[in-house]
Structure 1
Amino acid sequence: MTKNIYFASDFHLGSPNHAESRKREDRIVRWLNFIQPTCGELFLMGDVFDFWFEYKYVVPKGFVRLQGKLAEMADSGIKIYFFKGNHDMWVKDYFTQEIGMEIISDELLIERNGKKFFLHHGDGLGPGDRKYKFLRKIFRNPICQWLFGMVPPRIGMGIANGWSAHSRAASKAEEVFVGEDKEWLAVYAKEQLSKQHFDYFVFGHRHLPLTIKLSESSTYINIGEWLNYNSYGVFDGETLKLAYFEK
């Protein structure tokens, strides 16, 4: 039997507080238990954590149920990919060493069962948002990361948690569709499609589950988030569709 491929993004674990994050983590683990029997590959497409920074000997505490479940799935032979999002772009090699996940920094181009996929968290793509694109270059700069790593974890994590408390995820506001011509990731996908064919463009980051036909043979899908929608993508070997868990 051909196994399914699953895509999920924007868990934002840690936000807005420990109690709500734990409820969300438990729900995500239930979802992983649900998909495990039919899962061949799992793509976690960014912002799994609302903040993550790996010091040389220190990582953020918590999230052990998710990590344990992912380790179990990886040990059973399921290939897991972890995309760096704009909230957890400072992931390094901890998850590769401890769980066996493959870390993806930017886009990943794959082909499965004759279908071509363009995969990316979605941050920094498309028109506009120049302020974030500038900050992204700073945040991803190795020297800047090294300097932040010199800050003691108690202070560094305090700064990060304060920033996280004012993030978009903390507000839990639901996004609204602004029109195909104004959906910047759809615009970006159309630009890429003019250069090379892909059957599916799959993104997170936008926080709104979306399916937009770009052409007769190409589709843009945003897999949404787990603060409001519990949405994910599933590819059964023929078609990629949005699905919802406990929604």
Structure 2
Amino acid sequence: MDRKAFFISDAHLGVNPPGAIENRESQLIQFLESLQGKASHVVIVGDLFEFWYEYNDYVCRNHFDLYFALKKLVESGTEVHLLQGNHDFAYGTFFPKSLGVHVHKQVVLEIQGKRVLFRHGDGVAKSDFGYRLFRRILDFPLNRFLFKQIHPDWGMALARFVGRSSRKAGEDRVINLKEYQAWADRIMKKENCDFCIFGHIHISGIWNLDHGTAASSGEWIKKLTYLQMEAGEISLGEFKTKD
């Protein structure tokens, strides 16, 4: 029998918003450790970190235990994939070269005989026009180069400030779930996929659409939710913390 596959998203490690579960990074590490030798695939569908940027000789030391857990999971035979999110899109070579974790903006994987498309989900809604423009500015090579000239401590402080401001501005944002479902239906038809897995909206759910099944893994902030795939079927789960 095939091993199960597991999908999570939106941990936003590095910040603790109001209502966040205490020590949720430690809980995530426990979850990953519990999957060693048991999971065929683990896919982190974006925004693992509140902010990520790699310098030539620097990675954030605050998540060392998480890096180690991911490396051990890879060494146990699990295929681990990491999707770029809107908060942590600036990955370099650290995850693939040092940890064996594959990094993508979008990817289609063959799992349990099914074609599964993964994408974080930022910028896919028509209402995200302003964000798409802002993302182009952030991703412009000159701007990426200029940010790299800032001392890492200052860069992280600046990023956290921008993140807090963005989070506060988006508190009243209403998620139009139908926009995401319509996008998922279109892309499953285009890519000939059975499933579309996304995050970004912090809402967990599974929806049967015209051209396949769409699912959102929720978040790892106020709830520790995930998706699992077994025998070609998707279901929701929630990690229960140890006492």
Identity %: 27
- AA in 2 matched with 1:93: T
What is the distance in 2 between the residues matched to 1:165 and 1:83? 22
**How much has 1:10 moved relative to structure 2?**
0.7
1:229 aligns with 2:232: no
Q: Counterpart in 2 of 1:239?
A: 233
Partner of 2:72: 72
Q: Aligned to 2:35, what secondary structure does the other structure show?
A: helix
Corresponding residue number in structure 2 for 1:219 = 213
Pairs within 5 Å for 1:45-194: 45-104=45-104, 106-168=105-167, 182-194=177-189
> Alpha carbon RMSD of aligned pairs, Å?
2.5
How many Å separate the matches in 1 of 2:160 and 2:15? 9
Gap change, CA 1:226 and 1:167, over 3 Å in 2: farther
Corresponding letter in the other structure for 1:129: D
Instruction: Summarize the Cα distance change of 1:79–1:185 in structure 2 as closer, same or farther, 3 Å threshold.
Output: same
**What is the rounded CA distance, in whole Å, between the counterparts of 2:224 and 2:235 in structure 1?**
14
Instruction: State how far apart, in whole Å, the 2-side matches of 1:87 and 1:150 are.
Output: 20
Instruction: Pick closer, same or farther for the CA change 1:175–1:221 going to 2, 3 Å.
Output: farther
TM-score, with length taken from structure 1: 0.87
Q: CA deviation at 1:77?
A: 2.0
Tell me the CA shift for residue 166 of structure 1: 3.3
- Matched residues in 2 for 1:36 and 1:219: separation? 27
Structure 2: state its 5+ residue gaps: none
Task: Supply the AA of the counterpart residue of 1:199.
Answer: D
Superposed structure 1 runs of 4+ greater than 6 Å apart: 170-177
Distance in 1 (alpha carbons) for counterparts of 2:106 and 2:48: 17
Q: Is the 8 A contact 1:14 1:21 kept in 2?
A: no
Answer whether contact 1:176 1:208 (CA < 8 A) is retained.
no
CA shift at 1:172, angstroms?
Answer: 11
Give the count of matched residue pairs.
Answer: 239
Q: Structure 2: which amino acid aligns with 1:228?
A: K
Question: One-letter code of the match for 2:84?
Answer: K
